[in-house]
Structure 1
């Protein structure tokens, strides 16, 4: 409902305008009348009308002065000027204020209603455009948030290959020269584990708090897995790397103080990896942060720990291990037993070949690997809580055997899931797409519907059906568009909106790319 204010020094004129406007339309309503410009300014500030009928010639503050003053209060208010004087100077003055509508007294009913309709139409179009732009901004923010989480997930499993800090910098709009991982962990104070709600509340708090305390660095918060959250910090300037520990310490101190004030029934632990100059090396920083976090378990009085070069806390920096871990994770994800056995042997051999290898160091490497496996299973939506019971005192061969047995059990579980659960979920996803193709459907929405992470849903969907989610959605929409074009009573714009597109021009481009013909050409060829 659009609100209208009537401003005129003649009471009969105000009454007549109110009666004409209020009677025929349910979309507009007169919310007040003012006899002069001064009162009009006060009422405009109080009621914020959408449209003001403004008489030009009034005693005291005239219509032109009132328009100028009201514009400063709310530039979105539209004016329809009313005057008995048909002079160029009056028209020129109000046009300079952006006023487009000007009607003469005595005003005819149809002229008044036509002016209201024109201005109302402009207001509705502007509101619709703002809503669409807001929706686009929200969708873009959501997409960027998802993409950023996937960046962090890619770092964790060492899938960052083709993107550089320069390219990340272009996407973020800043110059990125180095980065590191900070890993946050929430641990219960007692023996009772934290509930999913408590973990999620902490995750939301962590994101909001980091956004408020991190100023000099770019930051991307990764997904919550179990009770851990990886956060990628990116430096904007090369010189800042020199102050890495100082800036990281500032973030940690702020966070710990705010965490204590919040009163969570849990303990916060933070592991910090080293900074690296190349995006492909960030996985090392994650491993260092993870091992620093694991070391904190043995030192209950410490709340955070910075990784160091190999030595002080026995953080493993074994050459080549990261690449093998990446291949091993992919083989587990595919449920490929032979590949898992082959790659695991390489992994075990590489560890065993290290000089002065210790059982405790092998156990740490295996713990790290199993955490990565657990994270991957979680992202896939696979429930598998068992972990191998490996003791520090066991010899290397026993540790290897237990590790192999655990991986084989995981692979078997993945095989069952892929053959049954995943297959059913992907077909469920296809049905959802087919039933909701006309809605504002997104990859994240469908992934959430089938309870998979967007990253793995996208991968599984393409593996299973040989095409991406967006390609399948487009194919469904274009198929329905072709069917509807048979009906000559439907306009192309109607068809565009009915299949889920909001922009007819974009629909036309997609249709031509998919079929080789524009919608008009296709319809003509079909009808002929």
Structure 2
């Protein structure tokens, strides 16, 4: 907790000096930052130094204390005022109380009266700051939870796993009328040959989230999870899905996004594929595929930054290098047992193939045969025994082959999830070791998940299933356990122990410790050491 700043205002210099010396020598959490001889100077110093508390004499030449309080409160209502006066009259007290002043000390002031007033006001400020900090922390945690929920929700919509949601329900949930929605896919392209590092992707995703949060407060925007360097974004609209209105709205979003991206100094290029709008939640899967198709076509078109899907949704035939790149991404997602990633990448690949009328069925069959051979080899290398094999039957209707392959791929991934779950003990042991070695740092679920090569959602699920507690609960348990051990050493202060086990706020550490043990750190140390 930072020091509380105090301003002393009195026209008698001896009064000011005595009060300053008394406060500075008796209180550790406050400091006198200035003295003012009159009301005018007090107003100037309050604006310049922004004190937390002002000791204000009432009777002064020129602008008196009551007038000064009125002016100061106009510019900074949060400043606490302790009035000091030789006049014990109801009118003076009444007038300052109307300005929010609660403390009134009579001259000559007893030392204890001054200390009692200062303690009451200081405690009130400290408690208020605690509440603000707690509310801020709660808001941040809530925003993070909402962000995770949004990603899972958008994933479900894109995978067509949410069938029964209506726009009336969307409207009730969000508090605004929703009549349609569409999906954009935002793709980041590195300017140099090297791929993006993990931090680059995280920074890009964070920038995008902040952009939509600050620049589109009046529009409902839900971001999906990042796949490689692509992010699906769902826009919910008040307008009906008429092409003219939709394109005008979407064009405004695109223009503003590209303009702000240029100012971001991110060393990359942005490309945007836009799907068509639909009036039913279960149709967003179509908008997603249209956006994928538009983006695929766009990435082969020089000097264009965005492309709207046409009603035909046509895209071009992928090149051999495209297929190899998709295979690489897909195999990695399959290996991790990440169903959302697998379906996203598979759908992206399918969109390239399925919507091109010129593509022959034998070419589709050959692409999928090669893909499942690679998957079979990977399963063998991982030591995963999977008996089911897929015999792809060539069909003139290539969509039949896509459905068949998607169904088989889904079965493979679910089998891998079961296998990984049976091997989860080793992964969780590795995660626990990482936590035990890094509990003093600002450790996150995402960091640990990346270390053990699991998705954050899956790692969180495993923690809950295996240990009966959340990831955060486990980290807290480790930190408090270590804090108990360090408290045995009487030479270490509680503040020092707080920082050494990963907490930045001693007050928050104290609350967590008491919640876990039933005792405050001071009480625990007293019982343990004695």
Equivalent position of 1:61 in the other structure: 63
Deviations 1:393-415, CA, capped at 9 Å, x for gaps: x9979x88999998898677656
- For the 8 Å contact 2:240–2:279, the answer to whether it is kept is no
- For the 8 Å contact 2:181–2:236, the answer to whether it is kept is yes
Change (3 A) 1:224 1:112: same
Equivalent position of 1:309 in the other structure: 311
- In the TM superposition, 1:243-392 aligns within 5 A as 243-256=245-258, 266-300=268-302, 302-310=304-312, 312-313=314-315, 358-359=360-361, 362=364
Change (3 A) 1:404 1:28: closer
- Give SS of 2:71's match: helix
Structure 2 unaligned residues grouped into runs of 5+: 318-330, 380-391, 482-508, 520-530
> d(CA) in 1 for partners of 2:160 and 2:407?
21
Change (3 A) 1:417 1:300: farther
Quick one: which of 102, 107, 110 aligns to 1:108?
Answer: 110
Quick one: which of 46, 49, 71 aligns to 1:44?
Answer: 46
Deviation at 1:165, TM superposition (A): 3.3
TM-score (norm 2): 0.66
Aligned length: 441
2:513 equivalent to 1:498: yes
Equivalent position of 2:123 in the other structure: 121
Equivalent position of 2:179 in the other structure: 177
> d(CA) in 1 for partners of 2:124 and 2:68?
22
- For the 8 Å contact 1:440–1:500, the answer to whether it is kept is no
- For the 8 Å contact 2:293–2:313, the answer to whether it is kept is no
- Give SS of 2:233's match: strand
Deviation at 1:108, TM superposition (A): 1.0
Deviation at 1:71, TM superposition (A): 0.8
Deviation at 1:200, TM superposition (A): 4.1
Deviations 1:122-146, CA, capped at 9 Å, x for gaps: 1111111111111112222222222
Deviations 1:423-450, CA, capped at 9 Å, x for gaps: 433455678899999x999977875775
- In the TM superposition, 1:193-208 aligns within 5 A as 193-208=195-210
Structure 1 unaligned residues grouped into runs of 5+: 316-328, 378-389, 481-493, 505-528
Equivalent position of 1:135 in the other structure: 137
Change (3 A) 1:45 1:174: same
Change (3 A) 1:61 1:444: same
Deviations 1:255-307, CA, capped at 9 Å, x for gaps: 44555676766554322222121222212211222223233455456543322
> d(CA) in 2 for partners of 1:33 and 1:263?
47
> d(CA) in 1 for partners of 2:516 and 2:193?
53
> d(CA) in 1 for partners of 2:313 and 2:30?
76
Change (3 A) 1:364 1:460: farther
Deviation at 1:95, TM superposition (A): 0.8
2:159 equivalent to 1:144: no
Change (3 A) 1:362 1:292: farther
- Give SS of 1:149's match: helix
- Give SS of 2:185's match: strand
> d(CA) in 2 for partners of 1:55 and 1:27?
23
Moved more, 182-191 or 223-232: 182-191
2:161 equivalent to 1:159: yes
Change (3 A) 1:445 1:91: farther
Equivalent position of 1:510 in the other structure: none
- For the 8 Å contact 1:271–1:306, the answer to whether it is kept is yes
> d(CA) in 2 for partners of 1:129 and 1:404?
52
- Give SS of 2:26's match: coil
- Give SS of 1:249's match: helix
> d(CA) in 1 for partners of 2:58 and 2:98?
14
- Give SS of 2:249's match: helix
> d(CA) in 2 for partners of 1:102 and 1:10?
18
Equivalent position of 2:234 in the other structure: 232
> d(CA) in 2 for partners of 1:82 and 1:294?
74
2:95 equivalent to 1:80: no
- For the 8 Å contact 1:50–1:77, the answer to whether it is kept is yes
Change (3 A) 1:258 1:4: closer
Deviations 1:112-163, CA, capped at 9 Å, x for gaps: 1111111111111111111111111222222222222222222232222454
- For the 8 Å contact 1:177–1:238, the answer to whether it is kept is yes
- Give SS of 1:14's match: helix
Change (3 A) 1:501 1:56: farther
- For the 8 Å contact 2:463–2:471, the answer to whether it is kept is no
> d(CA) in 2 for partners of 1:257 and 1:361?
41
TM-score (norm 1): 0.67
> d(CA) in 2 for partners of 1:125 and 1:254?
42
Deviation at 1:417, TM superposition (A): 3.8
Deviation at 1:58, TM superposition (A): 1.5
Aligned alpha-carbon RMSD (Å): 5.2
Deviation at 1:459, TM superposition (A): 4.6
- Give SS of 1:85's match: coil
- For the 8 Å contact 1:443–1:469, the answer to whether it is kept is no
- For the 8 Å contact 1:49–1:77, the answer to whether it is kept is yes
> d(CA) in 2 for partners of 1:270 and 1:404?
29
> d(CA) in 1 for partners of 2:172 and 2:367?
35
